[in-house]
Structure 1
Amino acid sequence: MRDQPVEVDGITVERDVPIHVGDGTVLRADVFRPTEPGDYPVILAMGPYGMGLHLADGYPANWRRMHESYPEVAHGSTGRYQNWEVADPEKWVPDGYVCVRVDSRGSGRSPGFLDVLTALQARDLYDCIEWAGQQEWSNGKVGLLGISYFAANQWQVAALRPPHLAAICVWEGFADHYREGARHGGIACEFVKGAQARQMFTVQYGMGSRGPTDRNTGRPVAGDVDLDDDVLRQNRRDLYAELLARPVNGAFYQERTADLSRIEVPLLSAGNWGGMGLHTRGNVEGFLAAGSELKWLEMHGDTHFSPFYNDRGLGLQKQFFGTFLKGEQNGWLDRPPVELLVRHPGERFEPRFEQEWPIARTEWTAFHLCPETRELRTSPGASGTLSYQPEHEDLRFRLPPADHDREFTGPAAAKLRISSATTDADLFLSLRLYDPQGTEVTFIGSNDPKVPVGLGWLRASHRRLDTDRSEPYRPVHSHDSIEPLVPGEPVDVDVEIWPTSIVVPAGHVLELGIGGRDYSNQGTRIENAMYPTTGVGPFIHTDPQDRPAEIFGGTVTLHFAPDVQSYLLLPAIPAP
């Protein structure tokens, strides 16, 4: 039942507001608005994580780390309404915005079948936008804001063109469900297996008293009814089981991937260099492919949550939405289309504006893999072969240190000739940085505190390229068929390495790793961590159902010869 509005510290709060969507389902929303009557722009988010679950209750380690690193997040806010990956109403409502949070169907306090990122859910979000745009407290302009899931579904609904949608801010949100969310280079990623178990199924509608409690209302986050486990299982789709059953791209993944060319609204796409495994690629690809005339790309570092909530991130969001939801003349329209926080070791970032992506002055440089020295050189090395056992070792090729700093910012790729002792091989590529003492230099990533410079993946049987979409620096694989290897017979493969940025200081070494398993470092122990943190966070690829040892455990061989293209292509940015 819908609550009566209450006024708390200058904010009118309405709980469990009903929103009737197209098929008659009633979704529930919490609305935070100014107490003064008026017409206000709306900031809206819809997702499956339970709008009543406080960030500190659901994600205590992240809450602590964010406030320790950025005490400013607590300034001007009691934090009582701060939820995972969505805007803090206490930072927005005083500036004249209405904040609306919606539990997607089957989640939190909204009944229905839990099936995420479907076409139906995109229509639900469309209906929520139209509802918000026509309320008496609305000025008719709705903006979408949120991280990850609350960003990914923005691509989908914006392509449907709801009339009251005025702008979107896609903060670390993937765009291509197959290539970014489910299967990296064709290899099944186990992220969704853990995410749905710990973040979605725990707040599925009907968990009721067995689920978490809303600290503000004392009511169950996941509905006022208790459904038994069998009913709950019948009321949801196991997304991980679906992706395991679907190794090639098709209708299932396409339903969850937007036609980006149909997007018309102004957009800000904000990505994270350390978001390899889910979001980095999507923010860049979404920016490039969106049909919007007014669009901006911003790339940052640090954790998944701090850049969104800290003063810099909040300032960007408010300047962007102030322009398109309020009509403010605040200088945003004079902003260049691309802002990059260029990454240096030691978590130092140098902000720089650019006019395009990739950067036009990029010097695309092919560094050849030399088998005799294990170095990366600008000229090919000797003929020969190098082999490795996928589960136990990898091959390393080092770019010799220079006496000056070198910047590499943009997409990267590798071209290799490989053979396998079996009918397939999974290739895991990593870019790593080492200081003059030989110690690896890692970076705070969005989902792991020690990530490498870059990552790339490819299943050799998925090596066919989509030639219409591919570039030498960004190979795109069709993933529409499986072409097994002939054991021992070499084939050429192109491996995409997700966009990156690194200034390699003088004396430092950049290294390419090639192997058959996930990158891993010594790891970091984090209290209340949701998963092990050994360099790739939850984005692991170890499921034996997808990677049976008899196929993916065979010896892999790299082949080299004067007429063989075997190189790492890096985006070198010339010094000013």
Structure 2
Amino acid sequence: MGRSAIFYLASFLSGLSNAAVNITVAHHADAAPYAANITQLPMSVYGDDAYPVWHRRLTPPETPRCRYTGYKPGAEVLKKGSIRREGARPLVTDILHLRDVPLKLRDGVIIYVDIFRPVEDGQYPTIMNWSPYGKEIGNQHLDDFEGRYNVPLSTVSDMQKWEAPDPDPWVASGYALVLPDSRGAFSSAGNFPHWGRQLAEDGYDAIEWIAEQTWSNGKVGMAGNSWLTVSQWFIAAEKPPHLTALAPWEGFTDTMRDQAMRGGIPQTGLNEDFIEIQSGNHFIDDTVHMALREPNDTLYWQDKAAHLTNIGIPAYVVASYENMLHTRGTLDAFNAISSTQKWLRIHNSHEWYNMYQNSSQAELHQFFDHYLKDVDNNWSKTPKVRISLLDPGRNEDIVNRVVDAWPPSGYAPTKLYLHANKTMSPEKSGKQSSVTYAAVNGSVVFRMPVHTESELVGPIKLRLWVEASGSNDMDIEAIVQKVDKNGNLLYRNLPQGGNSTTTATNYQRVSRRQIDPERSTDAEPFLLLQGEELLSEGEIVPIDIDVWPIGLRIHVGEILQVTVQPFVDSSTTQTFGVAEIPVARDSFTYMLNDTGVVIEKFGDPSLFMPHWVEKQAPAFESINAGTHIIHLGGEYDSHLLAPLKEVR
């Protein structure tokens, strides 16, 4: 260890007592005062410094399933060959680990970060992984899933933050990694924001703080999946001077349209699960209550749509077709950001699996080495756009096909008209007709046999002329997929394990059908989400459903299928926190043959949550009732607009 590194470690330890003063801990032993504790609190959004936003209490960090290891400021050298836990990969290098370092934001709020960096003196490029999920084990972990999404524990050090790169190989390559508990998470102060201006400004402050540290070379990158990607869009749009490169690995850009109110329908199930598992001592910006109480596109929701055109720095963007949250936003962002140095790779698996593959990490290293270390390593010759084409039934996916753009040229938007006999064809029927299905548990399926080898790549639109019988509104789900010649579902074996029927889908509440003409295209309608237009009895209206993009191979004899059915909001029945993670009580890593190590487990197989946390959830009732009617033919041009190409 260099002399200045020793001095840094000593001086850090001497200041820990002062740092601890900044913590405000709310005790939750008596939960009664917090039951149904929903309140409006001012929040900073673009256009208003004190916008009234509904908040609720966060789940207390001491809840076992949150797996909070506690406030433990300190510094230690993690020795090469030591392990984080039994079965994990031993460290390949010595690492200086700084825990619970206080970072003051512009409004005086203190958040806490962990830092992993080389022990040797020097100035290093930094990768920041911004999220609220915990700096160590945290409330989400691959162990919570059977098979760990095919990421064996032996392939990682298990020091990584959830959905973030493994620090060990990066430190070995001469990088520092900064892992914050963002505002409101665990012991970090303040109320927990869902993206927007507050998060963007916090991230800006953190990046500029990093650049001021003696161990920083002044160049900061960001990386990670999901929340860690969404954060990148917002923080980069604030243009922090020392943010040098981005690696967004799947993440939406418009919270309202992609997550909280997709299709104009409040998505209470998944979002409720997400909010309940977040942990801290204060309040969380409650997107579920806001979706129900403030359903129009107000300043609150506009604040949660990233200002993508502000982003001009290099970006390595990774996407997939089957992510229930991120597909459209990631692909839209690639086109919308202003950077001329941007790359897109669409893979054929899941973000968690793909992130930890050796080939993925090698590309990520090459990208950051080029921009954060100024290494001339031919990264600039990497193809700008690579896509995958999925092939359920044959498991012959095409991966890393180089194309000219997203969506690639050569795929003609083809109108396939829906017919009363449940077929589709390029010919429109001159005869007016209709089909119906029950608004609860019903569906209707339209099919078109494919007679030439074909590919469907890009965004899809489904136009329907609809009528509600027995209700004044409709919540609809549209699904596009291929099936075999007998109509049986085709499955694809997934690289991360399991299988999938591989669908493109989206939802639509008919009363929220108005689109923004300035932001819509023929292939991609953009919902206005201002007001509602309820249906009167017998009224027939057109809706355009923006089915999310896909890349699909379709073989001769297979069938292209469209399913229209009632939307059902369902919980993910998430198991986050179920796994008990064993780690050393008194050190971050340890030598496997150290007999004095005391192992402590973090997690809760019972998935216990304080009763008052669940009581804060709002009630949601489906609007679907009666019968849904789809009108076809004649003046009703119900059709699928699909980007198709014959393959010779």
TM-score bracket for this pair, using the shorter chain length: 0.7 to 0.9
Choose which of 604, 611, 636 in structure 2 pairs with 1:564: 636
**Structure 1 match to 2:38:** none
Aligned to 2:466: 418
SS of 1:64's equivalent in the other structure is helix
Alpha-carbon offset, residue 401 of structure 1: 3.4
Residues 40 and 94 (structure 1), Cα distance of their counterparts in 2 relative to 1, 3 Å cut: same
**Match in the other structure for 2:99:** 15
Alpha-carbon shift at residue 548 of structure 1 (Å): 4.0
Which consecutive unaligned segments of at least 5 residues does structure 1 have?
Answer: 207-231, 531-542
Instruction: Give a deviation string over 1:44-69, Cα, whole Å, max 9, x none.
Output: 012111112268x7442437333xx3
- Cα 1:266/1:52, change in 2 over 3 Å: same
Judged with a 3 Å threshold, the aligned counterparts in structure 2 of structure 1 residues 526 and 262 are, in CA distance, closer, same or farther, namely closer
Is 1:337 aligned to residue 384 of structure 2?
Answer: yes
1-structure distance, mates of 2:148, 2:328 = 25
Match of 2:274 in 1: 195
- Corresponding residue for 1:60? 143
Provide closer, same or farther for how the CA distance between residues 463 and 236 of structure 1 changes in structure 2, counting only shifts above 3 A.
Answer: closer
Look up the match of 1:269: 317
CA contact (8 A) 2:449 2:485 kept: no
CA contact (8 A) 1:7 1:35 kept: no
Which segment drifts farther, 510-519 or 373-382? 510-519
Residues in 1 aligned to 2:380 and 2:441: alpha-carbon distance in whole angstroms:
52
| Amino acid across the alignment from 2:628 | V
2-structure distance, mates of 1:433, 1:273: 15
Report deviation, 1:431.
1.2
* 1:165 correspondence with 2:249: no
Question: Aligned partners of 1:326, 1:461: CA distance in 2, in Å?
Answer: 52
Q: Structure 2 counterpart of 1:389, which letter?
A: A
Query: How far apart are 1:87 and its partner, in Å?
Result: 1.2
- One-letter code aligned to 1:237: D
Length-normalised TM-score, structure 1 = 0.85
Aligned partners of 1:42 and 1:100 also within 8 Å: yes
Conserved 8 A contact 2:416-2:640: yes
CA distance in 2, matches of 1:112, 1:525: 27
Residue 75 of structure 2 corresponds to which residue in structure 1? 4
Describe the superposition over 1:78-104 as per-residue Cα deviations: whole angstroms up to 9, x where unpaired: x24033101100121111111110001
| Distance of 1:446 and 1:480 partners within structure 2 | 40
Q: How does 1:63-462 map to 2 (within 5 A)?
A: 64-66=147-149, 69-71=150-152, 74-75=154-155, 77=156, 79-189=157-267, 190-198=269-277, 200=278, 203-204=279-280, 206=281, 232=282, 235-276=283-324, 278-345=325-392, 346=395, 348-371=397-420, 373-381=421-429, 382-402=431-451, 404-421=452-469, 422-443=471-492, 444=494, 450-462=500-512
| Paired residue secondary structure (1:46) | coil
AA matched with 1:477:
L
User: Is the 2:126–2:178 Cα contact (8 Å) retained in structure 1?
Assistant: yes
1:384 Cα shift? 0.7
Query: Take 1:166 and 1:574, find their aligned partners in 2: how far apart are those partners?
Result: 42
Query: Is the 1:453–1:501 contact (alpha carbons within 8 Å) kept by the matching residues of 2?
Result: no
Which amino acid counterpart does residue 6 of structure 1 have in structure 2?
V
**Counterpart position of 2:534:** 484
| Match in the other structure for 1:553 | 625
Q: CA deviation at 1:498?
A: 0.4
Q: Distance in 2 between matches of 1:355 and 1:52?
A: 41
CA distance in 2, matches of 1:62, 1:83: 16
Which residue of the other structure, out of 122, 125, 144, is the alignment partner of 1:41?
Answer: 125
- Residues 312-358 of structure 1 show CA distances to partners (whole Å, capped at 9, x for unaligned) of 22122112212211112222212232110221223734321112112
1:511-568 deviations in Å (ceiling 9; x for gaps) = 1001112499xx99999699xxxxxxxxxxxx9955544xx21311111223321110
Residue 562 of structure 2 aligns to a residue whose secondary structure is strand
Equivalent residue letter for 1:432: Q
CA apart distance, 1:164: 0.4
What SS is found at the alignment partner of 1:24?
coil
Q: Deviations over 1:408-462 (max 9, x none)?
A: 0100001111111222111210013222454312455999953532101111111
Alignment counterpart, residue 512 of structure 1, candidates 562, 573, 582: 562
Contact kept? 1:430, 1:519, Cα under 8 Å: no
Q: Secondary structure at the match of 1:319?
A: helix
Measured in 2, the distance between the counterparts of 1:561 and 1:108 equals: 57
Q: Specify the structure having the higher radius of gyration (Cα).
A: 2
User: For residue 216 of structure 1, what is the aligned residue in structure 2?
Assistant: none
Asked if 2 retains the 8 angstrom alpha-carbon contact of 1:44 and 1:145, the reply is yes
2: CA distance, partners of 1:161 / 1:146: 19
Gap change, CA 1:269 and 1:133, over 3 Å in 2: same
Alignment of 1:468-547 (within 5 A): 468-518=518-568, 547=621
What secondary structure does 2:285 align onto?
coil
The 1:544/1:457 distance shift into structure 2, 3 A limit, reads farther
Distance 2:531 2:316 in 1: 34
Structure 1 pair 518–313 and aligned structure 2 pair: CA distance change class (3 A): farther
SS of the counterpart of 2:301?
helix
Letter in 1 for 2:79: V
Shift of the 446–249 alpha-carbon distance from structure 1 to 2, 3 Å rule, reads farther
Look up the SS of the partner of 2:210 in the other structure.
helix
Contact 1:361–1:574 (8 Å) recurs in 2: no
Amino acid at match of 1:135: Q
State the secondary structure of the residue aligned to 2:365.
helix
How far apart, in 2, do the equivalents of 1:478 and 1:448 lie?
A: 38
C-alpha separation in 1, matches of 2:309 and 2:644: 29
The structure-2 alpha-carbon separation of the partners of 1:48 and 1:300, relative to structure 1 and needing over 3 Å to count, comes to same
In structure 2, the residue matched to 1:210 is none
Structure 2 runs not aligned, ≥5 long? 1-15, 17-72, 81-93, 580-603, 605-616
Give the corresponding residue for 1:575. 647
1:239 Cα offset (Å): 2.6
